[in-house]
Homo-oligomer: A and B are copies of this chain.
Amino acid sequence: MLNTKMQELGENRSVIRDLFEYGKKRKAEIGEDKVFDFSLGNPCVPAPDPVNETIYDLLDSQDDVYLHGYTSAQGDLLTRRTIAADLNRRFGTSFQADNLYMTCGAAASLKLSLTALIVPDAGDEVLAFAPFFPEYRVFAETAGAAFRIVPTDPETFQIRIPELEKAVGRNTKAILINSPNNPSGVVYPEAVIRDLSAFLAEKEKEYGHPIYLIADEPYRELVYHSGTVVPYLPNYYPDTLVCYSYSKSLSLPGERIGYILVPDEAADSKALYAAICGAGRALGYVCAPSLMQHVIAACDGMVSDLEAYRVNRDLLYQSLVSFGYTCVHPDGAFYLFVKAMEPDASAFCERAKKHELLLVPADSFGAPGYVRIAYCVTEEQIRNSLPAFRALAEEYGKG
């Protein structure tokens, strides 16, 4: 009688959320510091000081009714102007406020973009490069598309055009791309983006219809080497939507604030923007949280202290490698992507749990045999967890 698809999605929580809830319970049982929860991408670094300072300022200086009132469905005009100006300055683009639609974070950005693009029951396909954030599948399938995984290089997790060629077809409506990547930490370099853009432009011609890239960019600012460039996709491929979130860059994951960028250069730009507005309306979004929109107008372009993450990455990466773990060296985001020490990553994670290590098996990320370790935790947690990681490796005869 109910919508069993929704019931199933609710009962089988995402493996990440499941571990997060388990971790909360376990900490209540044996103590906060005894459980090493690496499950959730919940930043440990506080928001930059100007975020809270801006909230104080807004409360002190602005009319309450304005501050907490509805904005336009598209978002506050000043906020969107500020973001457009910042993007133009950084990427040499010429966006305007009307290219932006404010959202309740990246998940909403992705869901609204897919809902706007996908025609249910029309055979539309959405592609994603492995490994990928598992909710991509949920968002695409519940919007009415088939979801297809594009394999990547098994050692480096870089995009390989021949693999994409096998997966792309006439029904390909959109391709999700996420760099720096959750869960691998990999950044797709400019050469790859150029090849990808050229390939897709050719396919668009061949099929006579647009294939949209949906760039999921919550980790754009989280790179740890000044030489690492994350190419800005609209500058390479016109049919790009950018789904952004301030969850990671400003450490505001619970506040649900982000945007969708629809460049004028994208095919059917105006109609697509309207469809995104329609999707927001149909899915009950009304507007993005108003106080946080006003915060973004003042704090857009700022970034939380990345140094803490870099320290964590180096400490954890070097330690794990020294204990005998195999993992890709991550250029960005805040995840280590580690080979499980037995073929079944879930079984490996269950053994890790006995050491109070909460790691996420990556089967649902399209990368069986791997686990994701979110290192957006305190350095202390990492230090305290190292004996457990070592003991786990020793159980498998390593270290």
Contact = CB atoms under 8 A, between A and B. Distances in A.
A8 interface: yes
A17 to B, nearest CB: 6
5 contacts: A7-B275, A10-B274, A68-B253, A111-B282, A254-B293
A44 to B, nearest CB: 6
Interface in A276-331: 276-293
A214 interface: no
A52 B59 contact: yes
Given A1-B209, A10-B277, A65 B52 contact: no
Interface string A236-279: 00000000000000011111100000000000100111111111
B68 A268 contact: no
A117 B285 CA distance: 19
Contacts of A272: 2
A276 to B, nearest CB: 7
A14 B281 contact: yes
A98 B291 CA distance: 28
Q: Is the interface of A mostly helix, strand, loop or mixed?
A: helix
A118 to B, nearest CB: 6
A352 interface: no
A202 interface: no
A55 interface: yes
Interface residues of A, number: 89
Contacts of A276: 6, 10
Among A7, A277, A280, A291, chain B packs the most CB atoms within 10 A around the CB of A7
A284 B56 contact: no
A253 to B, nearest CB: 5
B6 A275 contact: yes
A47 interface: yes
A267 to B, nearest CB: 8
Given A7-B116, A7-B275, 6 more contacts: A3-B117, A7-B278, A46-B63, A56-B56, A104-B284, A111-B282
A156 interface: no
Most buried by B among A4, A71, A142: A142
